[in-house]
A and B are shown apart, each in its own frame.
Chain A
Amino acid sequence: MTVKPGATRSRLDPEPMPRRDVLGLLSLWSMATALLFATVGMFRLPKAAVLASPSKKFRVALPDTLAAGEPFVPPGRAVAIYRDPEGVYAISTICTHLGCIVHATTQGFECPCHGSGFTASGEVTRGPAPRALDWLQVSTSGGLVTVDEGVTVPSGTRVPV
């Protein structure tokens, strides 16, 4: 504050502001930093650290009558499981386009939302789907099949029963 009190001023004059108010600027900037830091922390909150959905891994018993190439879709899961002489494999029935559940038949898969079609091994035949359906990791033990929806494997991977 360098202005002398005795100097004549008019109230209509533009009143100068001190050029360098170190303390004021420092306090304002520290406040801005603190609030920015707090905001960064707050923006982390909506990104959930754990999801409420159940484990992607599940075990299921295949029906004895399941024919080769015939899909078995366990209730409540978006997976088609197949058994043929070479082994067991599972294909995700989630469309690679926009996530609709595709309908599994012995010929292949049909997506009801935007008309994508897939072969029995999941390759795209028509429609907007950008890539083939995912093949999922499968393991077998004691007649039960364990499928992990979270892990994809190369197309064509079969696990011997």
Chain B
Amino acid sequence: MSLSLPRTPLQVFRDHLRAAPGRMVHSAFRTGTPSTDRGRSSFVFGNVFLHLHSVRTHRWSLRWMTTAGLGIASVAAFLITLVTGVLLMFYYKPYPDVAYDSIKDIHFVVPTGRFMRNIHRWAANVMVVTVILHMARAFYTASYRAPREFNWLIGLALLVTTLGLSFTGYLLPWDQLAFWAITIGANIAQSPREVTDALGITEHFDPGGLQRLLLLGSDTVGDEALIRFYLLHVMLLPLVAAMLMAVHFWRIRKDGGLTKPADVNQRLGPPPADVYPVFTEEPVKTYHLAAIVRGRTPAVGSGPEHTVPSMPHLFYAELGVLMLTLFVCTALALVSDAPLKELANAQVPENPAKAPWYFLGLQELVAFSAFMGGIGIPAIVLIGLGLIPYLDREEEGTGVWFGGPGGWRLVQRSIAFGFSAALIVESIAIRFGWLREWFPDIPQLVVTAINPGTVLTLIYAWYSVWLVRRYGSTRAGALGLFTCFLCGFIVLTVIGTYFRGPNWEFFWSPADWPGGH
């Protein structure tokens, strides 16, 4: 040191050049190799992508049973659709007929195009499944309760966005399947006319027509509709989804991580030997910054016992789920090609024209009343779901599967009730028809108000009210109602998928369809 001669400017320059790669890395990550707990912590909160995680993760959150990784799987599926979707955009041309040809090109001549399209399609389906299951998980573990009410609402918005993304993607291939599914979808958007027509006020007040016009940009499904759906699919909805997801994740941290039962530490017992390092001594002081934060933020005041560093424990779990999701999507993509039917033809309707599978339950309801099935009942369900965290202010069973009065037994009974009620109502409607068949002159308004869909909704509502009284608990009613609606959704979706044929008539098997299909 002392012997060092003054360096020439050129030497200085050379030394800086030598040091540049190392400095580049350091400037990006700031910390050195994250080999210690502290290093790992600063690595996590020094990284824009990783800092959405808290630095330490509770052992409870890492149990497979706690979340089954469904949230991460949804994100993974979203990322997969994002990447493959961007790739598909290299070749996709959003103009009628040309769009169909470009999908054919993607399928037949674009290098890896067929595979990417299949992955895109399957990841989209996987995402719908995982999002629904994720919601069910959050519900059954009563994770929507305070302080996570708002995040439950964000989750609902994400569910709607996810379905919207899937639905808008449905039109883009411009084949018969797409064209007629969207035609039906657009007419569902117009279905408030069913009510306004019956009341005779459509001339003055026509929200249905406006919705349809906004969706299609024209009176038929044409190039205007295609460009709108394209815009929604590749731009608006992904942006909305990404923003909502960011808020969703951030709120998980701010709401104190994943829901844990009150007696979580007793349930977990002492940490096993392989979990290292886990704090064993009482904290000397609590987090200074967190102490300033007012309110009931759950992280405040509780020590880091029973937590492990997020890096690497949480990240292994997340990456594992990510790769598992990727595995499922690629496996499905290899086994089954994404469908592409004939070029869209406005003169030849598909019969039956079926929406994507997750809307077939709604389509089954729509077959009874377009307004109630397509807008009324879904709106009731969404509003009901949104209100649950504000009505259920109880504390019993938070963070525990099927927690709450009644518990698993109640859910079992509700499954039985939900399935039977849906099957019975459907059977009656299929076997004997409905009001219009019995009284041909019946006003439309009566059919709109009283149809298998609304009747089923009322039965479920009645059952739920009964549960609230029986157990003296809102949570019990909510458990029953949610389970019933889930069962109803499954029954209607299965009937719509497998048992409906041309003219939406009931068939035991597609082999019985007329025309030798």
Contacts and interface: CB of A to CB of B under 8 A. Distances in A.
> Are A and B part of the same complex?
yes
Nearest to B330: A38
Contacts of B37: 14-15, 17
B312 interface: yes
A24 B273 CA distance: 18
A54 B36 CA distance: 62
A34 interface: yes
Nearest to A10: B281
B116 A16 contact: no
Contact of A11 (B40, B90, B304): B304
Contacts of B326: 34, 38
Given A1-B274, A24-B312, A24-B316, A45 B323 contact: no
Interface string B256-297: 000000000000000001101101110100000000000000
A22 interface: no
B113 interface: yes
A5 B323 CA distance: 32
Contacts of B90: 45-46
B112 A42 contact: yes
Interface string B99-135: 0000001000111110110000000000000000000
A27 B322 CA distance: 13
B87 interface: yes
Contacts of A9: 277, 280-281
Contacts of A10: 281
Given A9-B277, A9-B280, A14-B37, A41 B316 contact: no
A45 B87 contact: yes
Contacts of B347: none
Q: Which of A5, A48, A50 has the most CB of B within 10 A?
A: A5
Interface in A107-149: none
B111 A11 contact: no
Interface in B74-115: 83, 87, 90-91, 105, 109-113, 115
Chain B's interface size range is: 20 to 34
Interface in B310-342: 312, 316, 319-320, 323, 326
A42 B36 contact: no
B273 A42 contact: no
Interface in A36-67: 38, 41-42, 44-50
B35 interface: yes
B38 interface: yes
Given A16-B36, A24-B312, A31-B323, A44 B277 contact: no
Nearest to A41: B112
A1 B36 contact: no
Contact of B87 (A27, A42, A49): A42
Nearest to A27: B316
Contact of A17 (B35, B116, B281): B35
Contact of A44 (B39, B83, B112): B112
B323 A42 contact: no
A11 to B, nearest CB: 5
A32 to B, nearest CB: 10
A3 to B, nearest CB: 5
B109 A3 contact: no
Contacts of A42: 83, 87, 112, 116
Contact of A48 (B110, B115, B273, B274): B110
Nearest to B102: A52
Given A11-B304, A17-B35, A31-B323, A45 B110 contact: yes
Contacts of B323: 31, 34
A1 B273 contact: yes
Contacts of B319: 27-28, 31
Q: Which of B40, B277, B304 has the most CB of A within 10 A?
A: B277
A62 B316 CA distance: 72
A157 to B, nearest CB: 34
Nearest to A5: B273
A155 B66 CA distance: 77
Contacts of B274: 1
B279 A11 contact: yes
A1 B276 contact: yes
A24 B315 CA distance: 11
B112 A45 contact: yes
A12 to B, nearest CB: 8
A18 B35 CA distance: 9
A92 to B, nearest CB: 27
Given A24-B312, A31-B319, A41-B112, A14 B276 contact: no
A153 B320 CA distance: 59
A16 B35 CA distance: 7
Contact of A49 (B110, B276, B316): B110
Contact of A50 (B38, B40, B109, B277): B109
Interface of A: 1, 3, 5, 9-11, 14-18, 24, 27-28, 31, 34, 38, 41-42, 44-50
8 contacts: A1-B276, A5-B273, A9-B280, A14-B37, A17-B36, A34-B323, A46-B87, A48-B109
Given A15-B276, A45-B90, 7 more contacts: A1-B274, A1-B276, A11-B279, A11-B283, A14-B38, A27-B320, A48-B91
Which 10 A-B residue pairs are closest in the complex by CB-CB distance?
A: A15-B37, A14-B36, A15-B277, A44-B111, A1-B274, A11-B279, A17-B35, A50-B109, A41-B112, A46-B90
